[in-house]
């Protein structure tokens, strides 16, 4: 069967029409893994196996990457000047204005990457369900949870004061201890 994804922008304003929507993309291809820029003006998205930037009003679209292996999981830097993403098994960054991507980590990185507000990048190793935290300045890694056999963790989000991380965590072997957890 044929399937496709398009992007829509929904704006909420409780004083006006509560849900205004606008279709940002059109066509019969995939627009996956959207990530909104820190200033809210742009969206990084995977399209045709590369990273594109789309304005939130849908009036412009620019291709950032031109790699031979499929790109995935774009994540904006806290400043909005760079985007981290995965391609093959490597972690890359690229300027949000375009240019050549740089390899940050040349090892088996898993499926998702999250660049959080404290400038650290959260990622999985292939086959690992715990998150590693990578500092792009010092190039040091550390585990989010010291015990590596703790179930699986996903979707980390750092608190505004950088004191804790909210994650979805499936801790138990039977999947009964799952839910939202806060880790200091």
In this prediction the pTM is 0.80
DSSP label at residue 24:
-
The mean pLDDT of 33-57, rounded to a whole number, is 91
Check: CB of residue 132 under 8 Å from CB of residue 125. yes
Residue indicated by tokens 């679209």 = 61
Name the residue among 116, 158, 75, 91 with its Cα closest to residue 83.
75
**pLDDT at residue number 23:** 75
**pLDDT at residue number 81:** 95
**pLDDT at residue number 4:** 67
The string of DSSP letters for 41-96 reads SEEEEEETTEEEEEETTSS-EEE----SSPEEEEEE-TTSSEEEEEETTEEEEEET
The mean pLDDT of 159-165, rounded to a whole number, is 83
| 61 token code pair | 């679209």
**pLDDT at residue number 65:** 95
| 70 token code pair | 């499929």
Residues 73-122 pLDDT 10s: 999 999 999 999 999 888 999 999 999 999 988 877 777 788 877 788 88
**pLDDT at residue number 33:** 84
Exposure b/e, 12-33, CB count within 10 A at least 16 = b:
eeeeeeeeeeeebbeeeebbeb
The mean pLDDT of 155-166, rounded to a whole number, is 82
**pLDDT at residue number 147:** 66
Instruction: Answer yes or no: is pLDDT of 1 > 50.
Output: no
**pLDDT at residue number 164:** 85
Residues 4-42 pLDDT 10s: 677 777 777 667 666 677 777 777 677 788 898 999 899
């Amino acid at each position: 069967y044929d399937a496709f994804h398009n992007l829509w922008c929904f704006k909420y304003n409780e004083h006006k029409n509560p849900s205004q929507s606008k279709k940002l993309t059109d066509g019969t291809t995939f627009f996956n893994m959207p990530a909104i820029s820190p200033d809210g003006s742009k969206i990084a998205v995977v399209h045709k196996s590369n990273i594109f930037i789309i304005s939130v009003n849908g009036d412009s679209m620019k291709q950032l990457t031109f790699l031979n292996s499929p790109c995935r999981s774009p994540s904006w830097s806290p400043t909005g000047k760079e985007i981290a993403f995965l391609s093959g098994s490597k972690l890359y960054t690229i300027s949000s204005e375009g240019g050549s991507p740089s390899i940050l980590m040349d090892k088996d990185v898993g499926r998702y990457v999250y660049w959080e507000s404290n400038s650290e990048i959260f990622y999985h190793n292939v086959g690992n369900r715990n998150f590693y935290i990578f500092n792009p300045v010092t190039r040091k890694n550390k585990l989010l949870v010291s015990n590596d056999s703790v179930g699986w963790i996903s979707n980390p989000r750092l608190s505004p004061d950088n004191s804790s991380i909210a994650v979805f965590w499936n801790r138990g072997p039977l999947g009964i201890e799952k839910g939202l957890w806060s880790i200091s």
